[in-house]
Amino acid sequence: MKQYTLSALIVSLILSGALYRAADAEGTDKPARPRPENSVSVEYTALGTDGFDQSRYSLKSTIKLFSLGSMKISAWFGGEYIATESAGYFPDELCDLNLGLGARDENNIFEVFINSRSDRPFHSMDETAAGMYVFHRVWPRPHGGLYAGLIYFPFEQIVPKKVVPVNVPFPFLMYLHATQELFVMAGIPTIVRWNPTEFLFLDFQYLPSRNITAWTGVRAGRAFRAGPEFAWRQHNYLIAGREDKDEKLYQDHKQAGLKVSYRLFYVVEISLFGGYLFDARCFTGEKYDDVNNERKVRDGLILSAEAKAVF
């Protein structure tokens, strides 16, 4: 059994569904239209430096399948293809594939998922992760409340064996407050979306251990937002055929630039970002703090474009 710490990508994966459902509740104090239950998004990112060029193509979708009473059953899919040109120290092609099935109602959330982020996705169990989680709202509030839950990874030892010798579910707490003016998710991830005035906004997101996004600027209602953004991005992959099965390939960098977002008829949101990439590197290790075979990547430019539709 693989023995991993709670990696940033896994936490991001298992709670991405919860985040989507929590965002669904935004503005529930004055619902102006039926809440969308389906979404699809495409994104392209390109970074270019001297000796390291990378393109990322991403597709994500959440689809409601059917309802059982007040319980809504949904499926979600996420796929990312990463093409890189380097001096041979980074894989030419990588994939990150996610599949999930979930159920939710006003007070409960449940999901199961499978993920593979590798140069040969789903080649074997060494390149595959799976898990499940369940949340229950133990302290309901008018615009959210406190959720308690359990997260379980059957193929990973989340709690160190010297603490708990067998693989057990991991307890978790999450607090949610969602209105049009203020959205707060406190837990993993931690997310704040604040509109202090009619013309200003602040977005902040933290995913352990090295994924941070801060975006602030001006807005025109909920249709247009523009301003500077800073982000610290970290990705990790399980390379097929590695001798140490606990070893990952890490890639991280910082970026700063200008981001613009526009919602068309509240159905399609288009986001554009252009900026400067710095403090970039790739390395191997069992954990993020285990830095082996480190290669620095020169500073350069980064551009991205995303389109998301909800319906």
> Domain segments of the chain: what residues?
8-310
Q: Is 80 exceeded by the pLDDT of residue 90?
A: yes
Q: What is the DSSP track for 63-112?
A: EEEEEETTEEEEEEEEEEEEEEE-SSSS-SEEEEEEEEEEEE-SSEEEEE
Q: pLDDT, tens digit, for every residue of 91-106?
A: 999 999 999 999 999 8
The pLDDT-based confidence of 208 (bands split at 50, 70, 90) is confident
Separation of alpha carbons 115 and 238, rounded Å: 11
* Bond preceding residue 160 cis, omega within 30 of 0: no
Q: Is 90 exceeded by the pLDDT of residue 37?
A: no
pLDDT, mean of residues 4-11: 45
Quote the pLDDT of residue 187. 84
**C-alpha distances in angstroms, 221 versus 23, 90, 261?**
17, 43, 12
Please give the distance of CA 206 from its chain centroid, rounded to a whole number: 10
